Copies of this chain bind each other. A is one copy, B any other.
Amino acid sequence: MFGEIKGLNEECGVFAIWGHKDASQVTYYGLHSLQHRGQEGAGIVVSDGDKLSTHKGLGLVTKAFKEGELEKLQGHAAIGHVRYATSGGGGLLNVQPLLFQSQTSGLALAHNGNIVNANGVKSDLEREGSIFQSTSDTEVIAHLIKRSPHPTLEEQFKDALSTIKGAYALAVLTEDKLMVAMDPNGLRPLSIGRMGDAYVVASETCAFDAVGAVHEREVQPGEIVIIDNDGMRSQLFSKPADRQICSMEYVYFARPDSDVDQINVHTARKSLGKQMAKETPVEADVVTGVPDSSISAAIGFAEQSGIPYELGLIKNRYVGRTFIQPTQELREQGVKMKLSPVRGVVAGKRVVMVDDSIVRGTTSRRIVQLLKDAGALEVHVRITSPPITHPCFYGIDTSTKAELIASTHTTEEMREKMGADSLAFISIDGMLEGIGRSSQDKNCGQCLACFTGNYPTEIYEDTVHPHDKVMNS
């Protein structure tokens, strides 16, 4: 659930609200509940009808916003954003929402996703004299809006969206209008809810629960939703397509209490675990999950197999963003920071270890080793996603293809490398079944690109992988 241990990183969470007198405060709590989607920085832009105001900060929402700073952000509408932790780059400049002030009006954007033709569009814009302060996709969108010859902001926004390709869940705020949009394939999640009379929009529905709002519906692929003093209205800026939402949202990213495209994440994960137990059963004494994202699946595996579920691995809750790394020497002596095996649970036992995915394979190897060191007789690894063999260009930092162990190793080779007694991945059909989609249906509703290489959009020659950008969004 939280990317700290993984080689897989979600990129950002978006929250927006219209029509609430404490818009910035509500956004703060909404962003806090989306914190698992990004920990590098957080920002809020608020409108009071006359002007936009903003505050941004590095680190967690609770660090970026200190007492008193919310009070300065007065207004009835706001958009907010949490950014995921890139290794080095970034800094405050890259924290969203981006706010562009002209002499007459302001424009703020918050974006989750990745624009695959950003480089080409940017080159065109630069040739015409545009200046960029960042390498962010989001800034490209702002320029496209401002350069559009259309007379109204809504038209300009649609014009801009017709130029960009890729994945986006976008929120745009001006002094008198909130607009949100979803890419034509619906690759990233974005939901609409109501909080009393106010409208709220969020990357995940857990944010609605956090602020006491009620979930109403999903933003649809290719849809723009406009909210202003006349209420909410909707348009399609692109011909309707079948949704292909990112499968890893169910498997790994989203919070268990969120409903993604109307499917509860905990329930989906539990089904994935059950499905695995059916596909690749194993004789064992205990089932354990790698915290936090695989707990639900482990419970499902246990329920289906009849093998008791136990806390076999404990995650240290206090691992923050900065700590002193153990030296190689101490690591070899067994010093560890994040994950501990529960000796009393696994010693002398045959353990089923349920995990959600394998990226580079190093984490899995380390966990298998932990369990064996703690006395596990056998470790059977069950992965609730199919092998990841292709990079993602839609907003997930999965490293390059060469780094994806499943693209260069067979399952048996991986098993051997990680020292497991058995290793199995869920099948693609099994995963779809677990999530609740019909694999029979040509349009299964899910993006499977990282498992199959069939990307739902064109991929340009100079498509930039998020990993290679100074600033992702």
Contact among B22, B104, B139, B317 for A2, CB-based, below 8 A: B317
Contact A314 B206 (CB under 8 A): yes
Residues facing B in A273-330 (CB within 8 A) are 292, 295-296, 299, 303, 308-311, 314, 316-320, 322-324, 326-327, 329-330
Residues of B within 8 A of A311 (CB): 256-257, 266, 295-296, 299
Name the interface residues of A37-93: CB closer than 8 Å to any CB of B.
Answer: 39, 60-63, 65-67, 70, 92-93
Contact call B266/A330, Cβ cutoff below 8 A: no
Contact A132 B62 (CB under 8 A): no
Indicate whether A100 reaches chain B with its CB closer than 8 angstroms: yes
Question: In the docked arrangement, what's the CA distance between A101 and B89, Å?
Answer: 15
**Cβ proximity bits A145-189 to B, threshold 8 Å, 1 near / 0 not:** 011000000000000000000000000000000000000000000
Partner of A335, one of B63, B133, B212: B212
A209 to B36, CA, bound (A): 27
The 5 closest A-B pairs by CB, nearest first: A212-B334, A264-B344, A129-B147, A62-B323, A257-B342
- Asked if A143 is at the interface of the complex by the 8 Å CB criterion, the answer is yes
Q: How far is the CB of A446 from chain B (nearest CB, A)?
A: 19
Contact A129 B130 (CB under 8 A): yes
Chain A 188-216 interface residues, beta-carbon cutoff 8 Å to B: 195-196, 206, 209-213
Asked if A326 and B210 sit within 8 Å, CB to CB, the answer is: no
Q: How far is the CA of A123 from the CA of B130 in the complex (A)?
A: 15
Closest Cβ neighbor of A211 among chain B residues: B335
Q: Which residues of B contact A67 (CB under 8 A)?
A: 324
Chain B proximity mask over A120-148: 1 for CB below 8 Å, otherwise 0? 00110010111111110001001100110
A131 touches B119 (CB 8 A): no
Chain B residues lying within 8 Å of A292, measured Cβ to Cβ, are: 317
A256 in contact with B337 (CB, 8 Å): no
Contact between chains at A314 and B65 (CB < 8 Å)? no
Q: Known interface pairs A335-B26, A340-B206. Does A320 touch B63 (Cβ–Cβ under 8 Å)?
A: yes
A455 within 8 A of B: no
CB-based contact B62/A318 at 8 Å: yes
**A303 x B308 contact (CB < 8 A):** yes
Residues on B with beta carbons closer than 8 Å to the beta carbon of A295: 311
Whether A257 contacts B210 by the Cβ 8 Å rule is no
A333 part of interface (Cβ distance < 8 Å): yes
Segment among A27-35, A389-397, A415-423 that sits at the interface with chain B? A27-35
Name the distance in Å between A145's Cβ and chain B's nearest Cβ.
9
Q: Are A316 and B32 in contact (CB under 8 A)?
A: yes
A143 & B126 in contact (Cβ 8 Å cutoff): no
Q: Which residues of B contact A327 (CB under 8 A)?
A: 22, 25
Residues of A within 8 A of B (CB): 2, 22, 25-26, 28-29, 32-33, 35-36, 39, 60-63, 65-67, 70, 92-93, 100-104, 119, 122-123, 126, 128-135, 139, 142-143, 146-147, 195-196, 206, 209-213, 255-257, 259, 264-267, 270, 292, 295-296, 299, 303, 308-311, 314, 316-320, 322-324, 326-327, 329-330, 333-337, 340-345, 374
Beyond A26-B335, A102-B126, A104-B126, list 6 extra A-B contacts (CB 8 Å): A35-B316, A131-B143, A256-B314, A259-B344, A299-B310, A303-B308
The 14 sampled A-B contact pairs (Cβ below 8 Å) are: A22-B327, A63-B320, A100-B132, A103-B122, A130-B146, A195-B333, A210-B340, A257-B340, A259-B343, A264-B343, A264-B345, A266-B342, A267-B345, A296-B311
Decide: A330 and B25 in contact? CB cutoff 8 A.
yes
Q: Is the beta-carbon distance between B333 and A211 smaller than 8 angstroms?
A: yes
Q: Which residues of B contact A195 (CB under 8 A)?
A: 333
Determine the distance from Cα of A197 to Cα of B236 in the docked complex, in whole angstroms: 63
Taking CB as reference atom, which chain B residue is nearest A28?
B324
A156, chain B: closest CB distance, angstroms = 10
> Given A25-B330, A295-B311, A341-B257, are A119 and B143 also a contact pair (CB < 8 Å)?
no
